[in-house]
Amino acid sequence: MNFDESEDEIPLMPPTTMPLTIVIIGAGPAGLLLAHYLLQRGKYTVEIYERRPDPRLTDVSQDRTFPISLQERGRKAIRMIPGLEEAIAAESVFCQGTIVYQGKKQARRIAREQPILSIDRNRLVMVLLQQLMAQYSSEQFKIHFGCACIQVDGLGKTVTLQPDTGDAFTVAYDGLVGADGARSQIRDYLVQQSGLQCDQQYIADAYKSVFLQRCRGDVELEPDKIHTCNFDNKTRMIMVPQPGDRLNGVIIFNAEQNPIEGLSTPEAILAFFQQNFPQFGQLMTLEEAEAFLHRPVGRVLAVRCDRFHDDHAVLLLGDSAHAVSPSIGQGCNASLEDVLVLGRLLETYDDDWNQALPAFSQQRLPDAHALRELSDYSFPRNKLLVIEFFLRLTAGRLLHQWFPQWFKPFVFDLILDTDLPYSQVLTLSQAWINKVKRSSPAL
Ligand X SMILES: Cc1cc2nc3c(=O)[nH]c(=O)nc-3n(C[C@H](O)[C@H](O)[C@H](O)COP(=O)(O)OP(=O)(O)OC[C@H]3O[C@@H](n4cnc5c(N)ncnc54)[C@H](O)[C@@H]3O)c2cc1C
- CA-based nearest residue to 157, from 349, 362, 6: 6
- 63's CB contacts (< 8 A; 6+ apart) are 122
Distance, in Å, from the CA atom of 217 to the CA atom of 111, rounded to the nearest integer, reads 27
Element spanning 99, H or E: strand 93-102
- Interacting stretch for ligand X, rule CB under 6 A, among 103-111, 173-181, 254-262, 401-409? 173-181
401 Cβ contact list (under 8 Å, min separation 6): none
Site string for ligand X, 239-268 (x = CB under 6 A): -----------x------------------
- The answer to whether the CB of 239 falls within 8 A of the CB of 227 is yes
DSSP 8-state secondary structure symbol assigned to residue 90: T
Q: Which positions from 115 through 144 interact with ligand X, judged by CB under 6 A?
A: 121
Say how far apart CA 373 and CA 172 lie, in whole Å: 38
Nearer residue to ligand X within complex by CB, 3 or 207: 207
Q: Which range, of 83-91, 174-182, 275-283, 414-422, touches ligand X by CB under 6 A? A: 174-182
Name which of residues 31 to 90 contact ligand X (CB under 6 A).
31, 49-52, 66, 68-69
Kindly tell me which of 52 and 309 has the beta carbon lying closer to ligand X.
52
Question: Which of 3, 29, 203, 327 is the binder for ligand X (CB under 6 A)?
Answer: 29
CA distance 131 to 35: 11
Interaction between residue 180 and ligand X (CB under 6 A)? yes
| Residue selected from 27, 60, 196, 206 as contacting ligand X according to rule CB under 6 A | 27
Tell me the per-residue interface mask from 295 to 334 with ligand X, x by CB under 6 A, - otherwise. Answer: ---x-x-----------------xx------x--xxxxx-
Binds ligand X (CB under 6 A): choice among 20, 25, 35, 127: 25
Nearest to 249 by CA among 294, 297, 207, 306: 207
Which positions from 204 through 233 interact with ligand X, judged by CB under 6 A?
207
CB of 27 to ligand X, least distance (A): 6
Question: Which range in 23-31, 130-138, 377-385, 415-423 contacts ligand X by CB under 6 A?
Answer: 23-31
Using CB under 6 A as the binding criterion, the count of chain residues that bind ligand X stands at: 34
- Residue 110 gets the label, from left (phi > 0), alpha (psi -120 to 50) or beta, of beta
Q: Single out the residue of 123, 141, 124, 125 nearest to residue 133, CA to CA.
A: 141
Closer by beta carbon to ligand X, 331 or else 409: 331
In this structure, what DSSP letter does residue 161 have? Answer: E
**In the set 22, 30, 38, 77, which binds ligand X (CB under 6 A)?**
30
What is the C-alpha separation between 134 and 81, in angstroms, rounded?
Answer: 13
Q: Which stretch binds ligand X (CB under 6 A): 179-187, 190-198, 219-227, 273-281?
A: 179-187
> Using CB under 6 A, which of the segments 176-184, 187-195, 258-266, 277-285 binds ligand X?
176-184
Residues in contact with ligand X, shown as a per-residue x/- string from 330 to 349 under the rule CB under 6 A: xxxx-x--------------
Question: 139: how many CB neighbours lie within 10 A of its CB?
Answer: 8
Q: Could you please report the per-residue DSSP string of 203-258? A: EEEEEEEEEEESEETTEE--TTEEEEEEEETTEEEEEEEETTTEEEEEEEEEGGG-
Taking alpha carbons only, the member of 109, 124, 107, 112 closest to residue 280 is 107
Give the nearest distance from C-beta 400 to ligand X in angstroms: 24
Binding site for ligand X (CB under 6 A): 25-31, 49-52, 66, 68-69, 121, 148-149, 179-181, 185, 207, 250, 298, 300, 318-319, 326, 329-333, 335
